[in-house]
Structure 1
Amino acid sequence: MAALQTTNPFELFWQDLPLPPGSTRPPLSEFEIECLMRDRVSLVDGRSNRIVHRDGIVLLTSHRIIWHCQSQSRALHGHLSRVAEARTSRNIFKPSTRVHLYLQGKVQDLDSRPATKIEFAHGGRDEFLKQVRSLLMMRDWEKPPPVKLRLSPCAIEADGSTPASMPCSSPASPVQTVEPVFTTRLAGVGGILRQQETARAAQDRLATEAFADLEALMSKAREVVGVIERYATVLASKDKGEGEKGGSEAEGGTGREDAELQGLLLNMGISNPVTRISAGSLYHQELARQLARFLTGGSTSAGALGRRSLLSERGGMMTLHDVFCLFNRARGTALISPEDLLDACEALEPLQLGMRLRRFPSGVSVVEAMDFSEERVGARLRALAEAEADGSLTALDVATHLRVSIALAQEFLGTAEAQGLLCRDQSVQGTLFWPNRFPAWVAQAGEGNDRAA
């Protein structure tokens, strides 16, 4: 018992969290969802009331409370399963900016003081407390891992076949309606009041059933993610097999079904979009991180699970117009403004997220991968021009081959022209780009003059 009295609950709750090499962001476990983030947060020892760690970032997830300091490259975390209660100071004469956490077990029973306090210097205490209490009620960490479920009774198996043991559901039978029978109870003012009471009771019952269905749907969220990951694996293996076979089977019915499933995965969108409420003053930084994971096919978006990197599919560069449309589509109702997207894109390079914002002299703004090479694009355009029947390229040809917009295709052609790989021919029929053969002709002419001399 004496050993328990000398044990500090603060040190028992907050454990060191190793950071990945070269990263200042704590890793999350599988099925762990970010819920809230605040900066300028300090950790306080509940017994001594002493600030132990100052001015860090607190990240509240569905499973843990994570505190990390980017300047010190250190992170601590405490699991919510050890928290018995979260509340604020009850002193109405002295407003507090701290959230008090009380732990479960014998260590907390020996002392009525909180094990730890979390101090918010720039606000956000009430939102944090509300989220913690909600997570303690949901207790996601106690839920079993998602099982392999079918999207519907007619869902395909991993090998593409339809399960024989589960026949397709038949259309629902038409609902039979019964005409109301007139009685004297429905007449007069009393009848009107009874009808209103019946309608009100029906509305209450409908609302209760609707919220019950919503809670059931939310409880199955992790199972849905598991289904998406399973089908994403199937699609990836199919894409690999079709690539090895040369794509001869891509035009069949299975290719069309896979395309429909790809569209379904894209429409699933981002499961936990970053908002100003959840990220606070770190909104644009967290938005930039989520944008980077979305463009590189990371695990943040359910739609990204079934596809390759959007950025790499488009040659390592995308216009801000395309990024704005695709990102907002994935975010659903949590739309962002063009100004917020621009601020997030400007933060991509300082945060070292593998991409950056670039502006061409023509005014076109793009998101560009850090490993993007203009030389490779120029060489590819020259090869495309040489492969064409007439030996020339247009901006439409480049946009079709590289899957980019016309504006970006024109920028690519202008860059290749500046490199001396292509030359343009402007006429009333439009602008054509040809492989630049003038250097070779000049070299041949020089060799001929040398031999003649």
Structure 2
Amino acid sequence: MADRLAWTDGQLHFGEVTITTQGGVSIHDGSDKTDYQKGFVTLTSHRILWKDKSAQVELALSAIVFCEKKDALLTSKARLVCTLSRGQEPKRPGPFSSSRYDEIQFEFRDGGCNDFLRLIQEELVKKRWLLQPVKPSATTTNDQLHRTGISGIENHLAHQLNVQHQSISGAFQDLNKLMQQAKEMVSISKTIANKIQEKRSDLTSDETIRFRSYLLSLGIDNPVTKESAGSQYHTSLAKELANLLEKALKDTNGIMTLSDAFCRINRARGYELISPEDLLNAAVHMEELGLPVRLRVLSSGIKSFELTNRNEKKDLEEIASLVKTVTSMSADQLANQLGIPVIVARERLIAAETNSLLCRDDSIEGLRFYPNLF
């Protein structure tokens, strides 16, 4: 729905803040290429702004139903796909008069799609555009609009304080609702999972995959708490986490960064969240308890979880074989192929190089790895 794009001068509205900017971004109307290529895209609390040397357009966040990432292909880079609602407000002037699609795609040719997706999803949850103050009435004079001095400063500070208060109040209301419904969601997810297990023979492969994605990490029964475990809290928590992460690690090539694990664990615990310190303190007990998951510090200093029975040598040989089949490979390509974070993929390639399985070519085009023929 590229017809939802409107011309703009790029100026921020009152109360609007800039979140991030990324270069090398092109606009697609659905899957169709447009003339708006390799510009700068800016995310604000209210809009997505895109500009190049000749044009500036905007897309209101209120028009976006949801966003998702479309992985890079051989002929294109990663894309941010924004599915739009069919709004009832009057159409503003823009570069497109009509569109046959219900989505706009932003192609990130210079990277940054993952971070942009994460930030825009956060803004879609906050809905800060709903707190935008009403525009001044037609009877307001220019002197009143541009009033300066002590009175003007006090009014501006009072308005900012009111907006912040509304934002914080709304956030806590949403959090309280989430806490009230979390226990019920855990119970529902368990019931659905049991029914799927009973009907497994009647489900097709596609249906099983779809249900599995819906139920991923929706809840843990009776999560360990400081009140229930007492002095054994961290060792008991370590056992619970190992049980959860063991299943997840088998689907992520046997390794997961500490930050990814933190998000997955708290999503699974639902209403009994843990702090980063509790996660780390529990993780250091895993190896001494003989659990199937252990904490590992990568050469770059990044902490990660991995399966205890993971065969390092075999994994590196498989990576070297993958590189050999395509002649050369970057960390981005390996990450896409294995479904792991880019930083972990880079660590894997460097480890294979250290074991003389690969060699590198570090040029202006980036770091690539090749089979070691010597």
TM-score range, shorter chain: 0.3 to 0.5
Q: TM-score, normalised by structure 2?
A: 0.47
> Larger Cα Rg: Structure 1 or Structure 2?
1
TM-score by length of 1: 0.40
